[in-house]
Amino acid sequence: MRMRPTLSWTPTAGLPPATTDLEPVVEALGRGGVLVLSGAGISTESGIPDYRGEGGSLSRHTPMTYQDFTSGAQARRRYWARSHLGWKTFRRALPNAGHRAVAAFGRGGALAGVITQNVDGLHQAAGSEDVVELHGGLDRVVCLNCGTFVARREVARRLEEANPGFQPVAAGVNPDGDADLTDEQVGDFRVVPCEVCGGVLKPDVVFFGESVPPARVEHCRELVRTASSLLVLGSSLTVMSGLRFVRQAAQAGKPVLIVNREPTRGDGQAVARIGLPLGAALGTVADRLGLRVED
């Protein structure tokens, strides 16, 4: 069954106020068994905008849905032109202090795992291991017909060859790697097919309106079941794909802690929301735990 995309959420009255006290996070990590759930907000300091924060990309950009992508060749031409240009920015992005702190928590034995809603691969680049990419990763491409996977760099090479001189200037790049281009800039961009069967290629990411694979969801649910607490980093939790794990943890009596500048859809289930910038906050937590954050 296809899901209707949830693009926005309006905070309701009565949510608990944010705090600047990091001690609950320090204590939880000190006990160990913490499951991290990260969102686009942890990557903003790497130059990748979030969706819903101040200046978030949804204020100017509506992400392509799975239904749009599969509806016809013109929609896929627009998507691949924008995504091809955006990929050049994504592949240059480097982990920031927040990603490096999460990796330090893992090396220090404080984590039960990392689930990320992001598709940028920056947790892994910072050194985190066994990261579950809830919404997939932009570094892989899959054929919707035969299921063949191929590295994004190979598809990027083929797109470069098929579209020599394609170098429009984008107005911005979004968290899903989609650059802001006009239809005129997209022009007659050529999309390349699967080399195995000639089918439609799609980045191995979960589009809005598309369901997360059930096996991946169950794996994440098991991580929640075995964790001692859940630490949400940089997510508004607007989308149910991440919010369900917050609700699961809260229903099981596991503490939920959120570090996010803005209110989130999960604040009502959290024992605290810390409204501080992620990089500096997580670096402070690492210092208090005596953990070395690698450059």
Return the SS3 of 204.
strand
> Number of folded domains in the chain?
2
Are residues 126 and 107 part of one domain? yes
* Distance from C-alpha of 156 to C-alpha of 206, rounded to nearest angstrom: 19
Residue 163: inside a domain = yes
The binding site consists of: 39-59, 117-120, 143, 146, 194, 197, 234-236, 278
DSSP string for residues in 234-276? S----SHHHHHHHHHHHHTT--EEEE-SS--TTGGG-SEEE-S
Domain containing 156: what range?
57-92+138-205
Block residue for tokens 């503490």: 255
Question: Residue 9: its pLDDT value, please?
Answer: 57
Looking at 186, 205, 224, the residue that finishes a domain is 205
Question: Residue 168: its pLDDT value, please?
Answer: 84
135 catalytic? Reply is: yes
Return the SS3 of 285.
helix
Question: Residue 227: its pLDDT value, please?
Answer: 98
Question: Residue 58: its pLDDT value, please?
Answer: 45
Q: What are phi and psi of 194, to 5 degrees?
A: -60, 135
Looking at 189, 205, 221, the residue that finishes a domain is 205
pLDDT tens digits, the chain, 295 residues: what are they? 334 445 555 666 677 789 999 999 999 999 999 999 999 999 999 988 875 455 444 444 567 889 999 999 999 999 999 999 889 888 889 999 999 999 999 999 999 999 999 999 999 999 999 999 999 999 999 999 999 999 999 999 999 999 998 888 776 777 777 888 888 988 899 999 999 999 999 999 999 889 999 999 999 999 999 999 999 999 999 989 999 999 999 999 999 999 999 999 999 999 999 999 999 999 999 999 999 999 8
Are residues 262 and 223 part of one domain? yes
Q: 171: number of CA atoms within 13 Å, CB side?
A: 8
Are residues 253 and 147 part of one domain? no
DSSP string for residues in 38-85? E-GGGGGGGT---SSSTT-GGGT--PPBHHHHTT-HHHHHHHHHHHHH
Contact (CB, 8 A) for 236 and 258: no
Are residues 281 and 240 part of one domain? yes
Question: Residue 2: its pLDDT value, please?
Answer: 38
Contact (CB, 8 A) for 116 and 168: no
User: Which residue in 84, 123, 135, 219 is the catalytic one?
Assistant: 135
Are residues 243 and 130 part of one domain? yes
Are residues 186 and 245 part of one domain? no
Are residues 250 and 178 part of one domain? no
Are residues 277 and 247 part of one domain? yes
Question: Residue 13: its pLDDT value, please?
Answer: 62
* Distance from C-alpha of 225 to C-alpha of 222, rounded to nearest angstrom: 5
Are residues 64 and 146 part of one domain? yes
Q: What are phi and psi of 217, to 5 degrees?
A: -60, -45
* Distance from C-alpha of 162 to C-alpha of 156, rounded to nearest angstrom: 10
Question: Residue 59: its pLDDT value, please?
Answer: 43
Are residues 40 and 62 part of one domain? no
Residue 1: inside a domain = no
Question: Residue 63: its pLDDT value, please?
Answer: 77
The binding site for NAD(+) consists of: 39-59, 117-120, 234-236, 278
Q: Which of these, 127, 132, 105, lies nearest to 292 by C-alpha position?
A: 105
The binding site for Zn(2+) consists of: 143, 146, 194, 197
Question: Residue 12: its pLDDT value, please?
Answer: 66
Are residues 240 and 105 part of one domain? yes
Residue 4: inside a domain = no
For residue 83, what is the domain's CATH number? 3.30.1600
* Distance from C-alpha of 41 to C-alpha of 48, rounded to nearest angstrom: 9
Are residues 116 and 160 part of one domain? no
Residue 13: inside a domain = no
Residue 3: inside a domain = no
For residue 99, what is the domain's CATH number? 3.40.50.1220
